[in-house]
Structure 1
Amino acid sequence: MGKRRTYTEEFKRDAVELNISSDKNCTEIAEDLGINYNNLIRWRKKYRNNGELAFPGKGNQKLTSEKQKIKNLEDELKETKLERDILKKAVAIFSKKPK
């Protein structure tokens, strides 16, 4: 079984932009670049849906500043809820009367 090829964000973006601006069809461009036709189609779809944020690489999601702020607030809320639950348990433990 062959090694899985990885492509840089720049390569993917350039391939999609070439496909958009060229008179050639997807099959010809994929052959010229030495990539799988289905990869090019998938990259085009991601680029069309997400624009500049389409190819994050290594599973790291690129976020707009607004989405990043929302993510940070959600993380902070999650941590605050955890701390609150710990404090509730501590209060319950210390409020019990000794036997």
Structure 2
Amino acid sequence: MNKGIRFTDEFKQDAVALVVERGYAVSEVAERLGISTESLYTWKAQFAKSPRVRSEVAEQAAEIRRLKRELARVTEERTILKKGETIFRHWSEDNGRTRTSRESLSEVRVY
């Protein structure tokens, strides 16, 4: 078996077509083409779907990546705000009492 060789999508689709459209056995096609049956089964799962389904899956994957990036950004912003709130709360302590951020914002101290 060939290891480390990259096959084009066209080659993969042709190999899958031999199995799906022409009805040849996976083991027979794999042996003829000099590839592993595992690769052919993987390609079959990948290319046997209609092009519309493949494009929908690709769009969903892109949306998931976008949402993960956005979630990471929002989580980081929330963490920064929590740290700032903690620092602000400790800074604004007065006479043993902690002010809320709303109280602190409405009052300006002049030294």
Q: Normalised by the size of structure 1, how large is the TM-score?
A: 0.62
Tell me: CA distance 1:24–1:74, structure 2 relative to 1, closer, same or farther (3 Å): closer
Tell me: CA distance 1:28–1:3, structure 2 relative to 1, closer, same or farther (3 Å): closer
Tell me: CA distance 1:97–1:30, structure 2 relative to 1, closer, same or farther (3 Å): closer
Which runs of 5 or more structure 1 residues have no equivalent in the other structure? 54-61
- Residue 74 of structure 1 deviates from its aligned partner by 3.4
Percent of aligned positions with the same letter in both sequences? 33
| 1:59 paired residue number | none
- Greater relative contact order, per chain length (Cα 8 Å cut-off, separation 6+): 1
| 2:72 paired residue number | 78
Superposed, which structure 2 residues align to 1:18-33 within 5 Å?
A: 18-33=18-33
- Residue 76 of structure 1 deviates from its aligned partner by 0.9
CA RMSD, Structure 1 to Structure 2 (Å): 3.1
* Count of residues paired in the alignment: 89
* Structure of greater Rg: 2
- Which deviates further from its counterpart, 14-23 or 67-76? 67-76
Q: Normalised by the size of structure 2, how large is the TM-score?
A: 0.57
- Which deviates further from its counterpart, 34-43 or 79-88? 34-43
Q: Is the 8 A contact 2:19 2:25 kept in 1?
A: yes
